[in-house]
Chain A
Amino acid sequence: MLELVLCQAGYPEPMASVTLAHYLVLSAAMFVLGLVGFITRRNLIIMFLCTELMFQAAGLALIAFSRYHLNLDGQTFVIFVLTVAAAEAAMALALVVLLFRRRESLSSEEWAELKG
């Protein structure tokens, strides 16, 4: 599977030099780490950090492609994403604080009121 992904990126040889494939592998690794962290942890702050990690993984892929295609669209996009992410982080942490005040706990299991 991984081979297939790399072939499509145009790089049959692994480990030749730092190529697009390396960035993408790193980006994928970061994303999966974030995802696994999000799924396995219960602490709201850690979960939030994991989402940030997934965010940055996607950003990294965008910058890599931007460089690869030699246009600035991807990088521009990432600047915007960073800006929004900063604002969102402020808001999300504020929410976490409020949620904590309600239940005196950071566990996400405390919040399950919409279950069917």
Chain B
Amino acid sequence: MTGDVILTFAADAPVGVAPWWVMLIPALPMLGVILCTLMAIAGVRSKLPAWVTVGCLGASFVVAVAMLLNHGEGAAVAKAWDWFHISWGDAQGQQFNAIFGFYIDRLTILWMLFVTGLATLIGLYASEYMSHDVGPGYCRFFVAFNLFVFSMACLVMGANMLMLYLGWEGVGLCSYLLIGYYYKKPSAVAAGKKAFIVNRIGDLGLALGVYLTFVHFGTIEYAELFASDKLAGYLEHASHGDFSHIPLAAQVIPMLLMVGAFGKSAQLPLYVWLPDAMEGPTPVSALIHAATMVTAGVFLIARTYPVFQVSEYALPTVAWIGGLTAFFSATIGMAQFDIKRIMAYSTVSQLGYMFAGLGVLTSVGAAAHVFTHAFFKALLFLCCGAVMHGFAGQLDLRKLSGLWRMKGWGIVSITMLVGCLNLAGFPVITSGFWSKDMIMAEAFVRPGMGPVGWLLLITAGLTAYYTFRVFFRVFVGPQEYHPGDELHDDGHGAEHFHPHAPGWAINSVLVILAVLSFVAIPLVALNHGGWVGEMIHGSTAHYEAHAEAGHHGSVWLAGFNPHAVMYYISAVVGIAGILVAYALHLRGRTSAGEAPAAEAFKNALGPVQRWAEHKWYVDELYDFLFRKPLWVLSQIFRYVDMLLVDGLVNTAGWIPSALGGRLRRGQNGVLQSYAASMAGGLALFVVVVLILASRSG
């Protein structure tokens, strides 16, 4: 395609028409779904599904890059067909329309770039990681993998909230399918169900939000919604801090959408499914449960950012929930021993940062953190996956040590260090540092959000500690390893176990991701938000600082302007966390399981450490508050059904059966007895008639 039909519009100009080829982005993964399904049917027993997947997703990424190169100002819609067209009421005056189409603006492009890019890389990684399953399982994995990218594309690129909802449910389905990939393992099946059911709660909020949007604004098409005079009027009121003229319905919409976002992005109180989701294969954890799907909630809020601004309480609520989630899950992550679970809690925690960023009105910071987090968290997960793959499923940080010096584990160790530095927010040379800073500085600047800022700052220290706890325990220190329980090789048993170092596919993906996490630095750091900032400013997530401009610079943190000093503060906090981890988990450690300093620290904490290790008993609390009452209720229904309903039906059936049982004895098969009873009956009848006749006569 030439460059002249492309997305060039002014920000406030009517929405233009996007070129047809943007539809290739969802279409190519769909092609992958079809091809992998056919391969499953044909019984392909090779790595072909992986190469097809990498090809399809890679082509999809190329189209996303083409979209980036051709984009202009504003937004454009590519319509595939009319999806729903319903009219009712007087003269069919009421209408509900939804197209099957795609809304392209810079936010979409930003998201699709890292979704398709990471999906391609992780597909390549999975080709090696899943190699022990080559056959029907391998096809099944890649079908769901492609379907996930298709759904994610619908979610991110959809032209209306219904498309978003389609994608939302689609990624939920794929998440369920892939968490439960090892369907013979009861814990994996339970984790899949938990993820699906907890997400249902959030999805109810989203569905109601979409419905209320239609009822209130009369449309769910983004292009019409963002151009509507009604919304513009509300935003005008909101910009003057006057929320009393905005109807309650409009203020409730973001509250409902928020519930959906909290469910999908694992925020308090719906975060419980994400740590359990680590039962799935590691590439899935990296792609779906760290880099892309769980950021759908952030995307939803960023996409409907104007709708969130018309409510007085919506964004502050988002900020508080984000800050609390970040802190809460970091405390859990500190006490876990399963390295993949630590990464899961850290994902929940980092998602909390993104929500806090949206809540304190730095959509640029939130998007930047989504962007950098996608790379370094995928990297961290894939490193954990490489360890798990090589040591027969071993994930306990007390059972592994000193991988650094083992043959073939150099690349994993170095890339893990890169990931850890990013997550810990090591100053200046990591992208995670820059994106996290933007959010924290803004939290201190925003009036009333100081406590959230402190929560995030403390969390930054905790994050650095637990991240390097993993690194210092597993990758450096004395060499030692105990294999896990997934010994699927030639029956040599644990004593003859040899770890197998990752091959070229895993290593090359790790290196690319490590490089990308550095490449992201200038993209988010330069010129307040850098390239990501530019992408956000040209989209619906752009925040106009209206009346609040005056607050900038007037809030002080310990006597300094937060924007100026946050870099230094967070650098100190991050390095302090790393040093604490060093003191507790590397210095004086003699073997994988024995770290005297950490033991002493643990004993000093007393029961608190145990509570944190048991995840503050939140699962038990939910069990007590929701599952138990529901179970009791279901038992009541069960007995009502068994005793009352079934009882009535069974009694009705029992009467004829019992009666028949008695009468059956008369049918004895002796012809003479039938004749005798007939004669007797006739005689009886005659006698009765005669008696009656004699009475009346």
Interface residues of chain A, those whose CB is within 8 Å of chain B, are 1, 4, 35, 38-40, 42, 47, 108-109, 111-116
Contacts and interface: CB of A to CB of B under 8 A. Distances in A.
A40 to B, nearest CB: 7
23 contacts: A1-B690, A4-B694, A35-B675, A38-B672, A38-B675, A39-B675, A39-B679, A40-B672, A47-B671, A108-B672, A109-B670, A111-B669, A111-B671, A112-B668, A112-B669, A113-B669, A114-B667, A114-B669, A115-B668, A115-B669, A115-B670, A116-B666, A116-B668
Given A4-B690, A4-B694, A112 B675 contact: no
B672 A39 contact: yes
Interface string B632-654: 00000000000000000000000
B625 interface: no
B667 A115 contact: yes
Contacts of A114: 667, 669
B295 to A, nearest CB: 73
Contacts of B665: 116
Interface of B: 663-672, 675-676, 679, 690, 694
A36 to B, nearest CB: 9
A57 to B, nearest CB: 13
B interface, over-half SS = helix
A38 B682 CA distance: 15
Contacts of B663: 116
Contacts of A40: 672
Given A39-B679, A108-B672, A115-B669, 7 more contacts: A4-B694, A39-B672, A40-B672, A108-B671, A112-B668, A115-B670, A116-B665
Nearest to A5: B690
A114 B668 CA distance: 8
Contacts of A35: 675, 679
A4 B664 CA distance: 38
B459 to A, nearest CB: 81
B658 to A, nearest CB: 14
Contacts of A116: 663-668
A42 to B, nearest CB: 8
A39 B676 contact: yes
Contacts of B667: 114-116
Contacts of B668: 112, 115-116
A54 to B, nearest CB: 10
Contacts of A113: 669
B55 to A, nearest CB: 74
B222 to A, nearest CB: 75
A113 B667 CA distance: 10
Contact of B670 (A4, A38, A47, A112): A112
A64 B676 CA distance: 27
Nearest to B665: A116
A47 B694 CA distance: 35
B81 to A, nearest CB: 68
A111 B672 CA distance: 12
Nearest to B687: A1
A78 B446 CA distance: 116
- Most A CB within 10 A of own CB, among B663, B668, B672: B672
B339 to A, nearest CB: 73
Contacts of B664: 116
A112 B674 CA distance: 12
A75 to B, nearest CB: 25
Contacts of B670: 109, 112, 115
Contacts of A111: 669, 671
A2 to B, nearest CB: 12
A39 B677 CA distance: 10
B491 to A, nearest CB: 64
Nearest to B679: A35
Nearest to A32: B679
A38 B676 CA distance: 9
A111 B666 CA distance: 16
Nearest to A35: B679
A34 to B, nearest CB: 10
Contacts of A4: 690, 694
